[in-house]
């Protein structure tokens, strides 16, 4: 149990986005569960950790290999505007534990995937709670582009929403309208009670929600690629998320997403998106890393949002590798005969 001592303060007050103040009269705070205190307050107080319970090492960060304190408070949208390249994870398991681990690991964002994951809105909520505890922005990918799914997702309060299968400017405009309150759009309003507005406590929600929301449209068909520049230019579309698997399937290469023709089509789409951005206020380029197309290669081509892994895939690979290691050890002899692998084994267990 970690102990934090606040020197020279006998009475502290923290405001945690609540309509009232909560006094804390004790100098020592014992944390057995997360305590939500404004980081700016903590920075101002400059707490000292007791030597008996030293602080844990900081989490590994991913955006440009370093994350400043300010990046925690910036929205995804504002970070994109400053030229950052953001690195994220797709969450298909709907596990709050894995969501929390992803946030603590330092991903810039996590996409809770309701399109290919098994869960829906009620399953996504605990994942948003877990990500919120680590101050990691959540993006909800919708099962389909429709006003009902968009409304329910937006009411949960993610930083972004991702619309699948957008193949024309018309469908992109509809997606944007689902995110806007009338008269600019068709989003239903329950802002006085939903989580997105802190259940009505956040008085500034209506003033900021549309400006801060990241709207992502997935282009994942040949038809979409043909019109990608027009889609990216639609007012309100912030990111074009390329979908290499569905694109390869639409081209007849379901089992070969790395096919030369698929890669060439991807390059055409990428240039179209980047062309829309050049001096025209168009969309940012986002996409998935693939075995034949790694994050660094994507970054060099102008991607500003890169999803490098899927939680289920990471666990699958680790589990398969673990079983393989054990079975290989049975074939190759006892552990005493593998002294040369000690260093790699230590790395394995430390991970």
- Splitting the chain (351 residues) into consecutive groups of 10 residues, what average pLDDT does each group show? 44 39 36 37 35 38 41 85 96 98 98 98 98 98 98 98 98 98 97 97 96 97 96 97 96 95 97 81 94 96 97 97 94 63 49 40
What does the pLDDT read at residue 262?
A: 97
Three-state SS at 173? helix
In 84-220, beta strands by DSSP E: 86-91, 109-113, 138-141, 160-163, 214-219
Which residues make Cβ contacts (< 8 Å) with residue 69, sequence separation at least 6? 39, 43
pTM (2 decimals)?
Answer: 0.76
The 10 Å Cβ neighbour count of residue 32 is 7
Q: Catalogue the active-site residues.
A: 116
| Distances from the Cα of 174 to the Cα of 15, 164, 335, angstroms | 39, 12, 61
Task: Give one DSSP letter per residue of 27-44, joined into a string.
Answer: SEEEESS-----HHHHHH
Q: Is the distance from CB of 2 to CB of 53 less than 8 angstroms?
A: yes
Three-state SS at 91? strand
Three-state SS at 141? strand
Q: Is the distance from CB of 173 to CB of 234 less than 8 angstroms?
A: yes
Q: Is the distance from CB of 168 to CB of 231 less than 8 angstroms?
A: yes
First vs last C-alpha separation in the chain: 23
What does the pLDDT read at residue 328?
A: 93
Q: Is the distance from CB of 50 to CB of 5 less than 8 angstroms?
A: yes
Three-state SS at 49? strand
What does the pLDDT read at residue 292?
A: 94
Angle between helix 311-332 and 96-105 (nearest 10):
90
Q: Is the distance from CB of 224 to CB of 231 less than 8 angstroms?
A: yes
Q: Is the distance from CB of 260 to CB of 293 less than 8 angstroms?
A: no
Cα torsion 25, 26, 31, 35 to 10°: value is 20
- Identify the sign of the CA torsion 200, 206, 208, 211: positive
Which residues make Cβ contacts (< 8 Å) with residue 124, sequence separation at least 6? 94, 112, 114, 140, 153, 156
| Distances from the Cα of 100 to the Cα of 38, 61, 71, 97, 351, angstroms | 19, 15, 18, 5, 16
């Amino acid at each position: 149990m970690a102990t934090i001592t606040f020197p020279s303060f006998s009475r502290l007050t923290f405001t945690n986005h609540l309509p009232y103040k909560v006094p804390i009269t004790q100098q020592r705070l014992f944390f057995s569960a997360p305590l939500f205190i404004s980081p700016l307050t903590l920075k101002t107080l400059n707490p000292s950790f007791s030597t008996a319970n030293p602080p844990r090492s900081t989490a590994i960060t991913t955006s440009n290999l370093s994350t400043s304190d300010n990046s925690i408070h910036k929205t995804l949208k504002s970070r994109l505007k400053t030229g950052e390249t953001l690195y994220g994870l797709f969450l298909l398991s709907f596990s709050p534990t894995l969501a929390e681990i992803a946030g603590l690991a330092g991903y810039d964002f996590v996409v809770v995937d309701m399109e290919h994951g098994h869960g829906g809105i009620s399953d996504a909520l605990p994942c948003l709670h877990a990500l919120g505890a680590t101050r990691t922005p959540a993006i909800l990918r919708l099962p389909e582009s429709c006003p009902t799914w968009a409304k329910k997702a937006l009411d949960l309060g993610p930083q972004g929403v991702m619309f699948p299968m957008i193949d024309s400017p018309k469908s992109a405009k509809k997606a944007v309208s689902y995110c806007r309150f009338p008269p600019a759009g068709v989003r239903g309003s329950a802002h006085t009670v939903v989580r997105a507005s802190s259940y009505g406590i956040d008085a500034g929600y209506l003033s900021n929600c549309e400006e801060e929301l990241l709207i992502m449209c997935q282009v994942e068909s040949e038809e979409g690629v043909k019109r990608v520049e027009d889609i990216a230019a639609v007012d309100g579309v912030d990111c074009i998320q390329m979908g290499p698997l569905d694109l390869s399937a639409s081209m007849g290469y379901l089992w070969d997403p790395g096919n030369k023709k698929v890669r060439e089509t991807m390059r055409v789409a990428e240039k179209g998106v980047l062309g829309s951005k050049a001096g025209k206020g168009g969309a940012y380029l986002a996409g998935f890393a693939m075995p034949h197309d790694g994050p660094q290669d994507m970054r060099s081509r102008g991607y500003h949002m890169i999803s490098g892994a899927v939680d289920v895939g990471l666990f699958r690979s680790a589990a398969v590798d673990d079983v393989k290691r054990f079975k290989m050890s049975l074939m190759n002899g006892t552990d005493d005969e593998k002294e040369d692998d000690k260093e790699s084994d230590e790395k394995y267990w430390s991970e």
